[in-house]
Amino acid sequence: MAETPDELRAALADGRAALKAAIEAATAAWETQPASGEGEAAWSPRQVAEHAIPVEAYYTTVICKVCGYPGVDRVTASYATAAEALAGLDAVVEMCNKKLKYVSETDLVKSDEKYGSCASLLKSNITHLNDHAAQIRAVAGG
């Protein structure tokens, strides 16, 4: 996986794009739950979006705290349609990018006992986005 701040930001952008594409593909199946599964595995695309989009802001806040500066506003989400989720994702990405653009090579090694390093947090966020994009695609048939 990517290791420089720019590479990590590019991988993060790819994960966000994957989530966005999955949400776009799930319009017709927005409230559809998978045929099987428990817990998160039983979530509809709507439930996944309502989880994944606010977590993007959470990760950004934790990264900011590890780096020593203020985070972003907390996000709560309720998206009745895929279009609402897409607008919410765009807004959260814009808010988060205003902070994450400042993450430097020096910041990547900063860490917190509870959360680990800034680099590991970015990688975890990337994985989180991609995992939930795949989860939505599985329900939406994409």
Q: How confident is the model at residue 142 (pLDDT cuts 50, 70, 90)?
A: low
Domain boundaries, the chain: 5-140
61-78 pLDDT per residue, tens: 999 999 999 999 999 989
The architecture that CATH gives domain 5-140 is Up-down Bundle (1.20)
Q: Which amino acid is at 47?
A: Q
DSSP code of residue 110: -
Closest CA to 91 of 56, 45, 126: 56
Q: What's the pTM value of the predicted model, to 2 decimals?
A: 0.94
The β-bridge partners of 111 are: 117
How many residues would you count in the chain? 142
